[in-house]
Amino acid sequence: MIIKTRTQPAKIHLKLDVNNLAKSLGISEEAVVKEFTDGRVISRFAEHWAARLYNFDKAVNSNQKGYDGVFITPLVNLRIGVRSLTKSGIKFQDSKYIGSGRNCNTENLIESVNSFDVEIVVDIIEFPDIFFLPVDTESILKAIKFGYLTCSGLKRDKFYNIFFDGAQNPIDIIDKSIAVEELKSTY
């Protein structure tokens, strides 16, 4: 079942150069792969890359309540969140509801989802290939309503089945292979 309610922004494929990243960071290629496949580590970078790729302003404080960036035009003010899809899956509730000793219920999940208008899901499972997949709040709320999404989150296959009709690498993905040097020159 696919839940799609409005036209979604382009899905973007970003291919990073592990060798250049390792040299730039002064660490081994193995360390790059290990760290950049950890959602907690790559999320900070993903916020910057998503802001650049989708042309929105990254929030000054990445812990700003409710969103990681804002897209503002005279007619639109979108609150944008960025989340990582890892081998463990993806969860859409605020981090205060995730982890040992923390609890989440459907009300918390809905409150968390309602704090943004668009969630850019960053699939890092095939790193160094990274896929940016925008999903609107209305679609996520429908997934909760129909019982597809709970506080336990979604595994990769289920995420793609619900929001992208099972296409893990959809044909309409725009290829944006960007070298580390180009990214570095932007920031």
Q: What is the pLDDT of residues 142-180, one digit of tens each?
A: 999 999 999 999 999 999 999 987 655 443 333 334 433
Query: Domain range holding 50?
Result: 12-186
Domain for residue 2, yes or no? Answer: no
- Residues 6 or more apart whose CB falls under 8 angstroms from that of 122 comprise 42, 43, 46, 49, 50, 82, 83, 84, 85, 130, 131, 132, 133
pLDDT of 182 reads 45
- Its pTM stands at 0.79
Who wins on pLDDT, 126 or 175? 126
Q: What pLDDT band is residue 48 in, cutting at 50, 70 and 90?
A: confident
Q: How many domains does the chain have?
A: 1
Domain for residue 173, yes or no? Answer: yes
Segment 127-143 shows an average pLDDT of 93
Distance CA 168, CA 117 (A): 23
Domain for residue 4, yes or no? Answer: no
Chain centroid to Cα 61, Å, comes to 17
Domain for residue 5, yes or no? Answer: no
Chain centroid to Cα 54, Å, comes to 12
Distance CA 176, CA 187 (A): 18
Half-sphere exposure of 12 (CA within 13 A, CB side): 21
Domain for residue 6, yes or no? Answer: no
Q: What pLDDT band is residue 72 in, cutting at 50, 70 and 90?
A: low
pLDDT of 170 reads 42
Distance CA 92, CA 112 (A): 7
SS3 letters across the chain: CCCCCCCCCCCEEEECCHHHHHHHHCCCHHHHHHHHCCHHHHHHHHHHHHHHHHCCEECCCCCCCCCCEEEECCCCEEEEEEEEEECCEECCCCHHHCCCCCCCCHHHHHHHHCCCCEEEEEECCCCCEEEEEEEEHHHHHHHHHCCCCCCCCECHHHHHHHHCCCCCCCCCCEECCCCHHHHHHHC
Distance CA 92, CA 173 (A): 23
Domain for residue 3, yes or no? Answer: no
Domain for residue 74, yes or no? Answer: yes
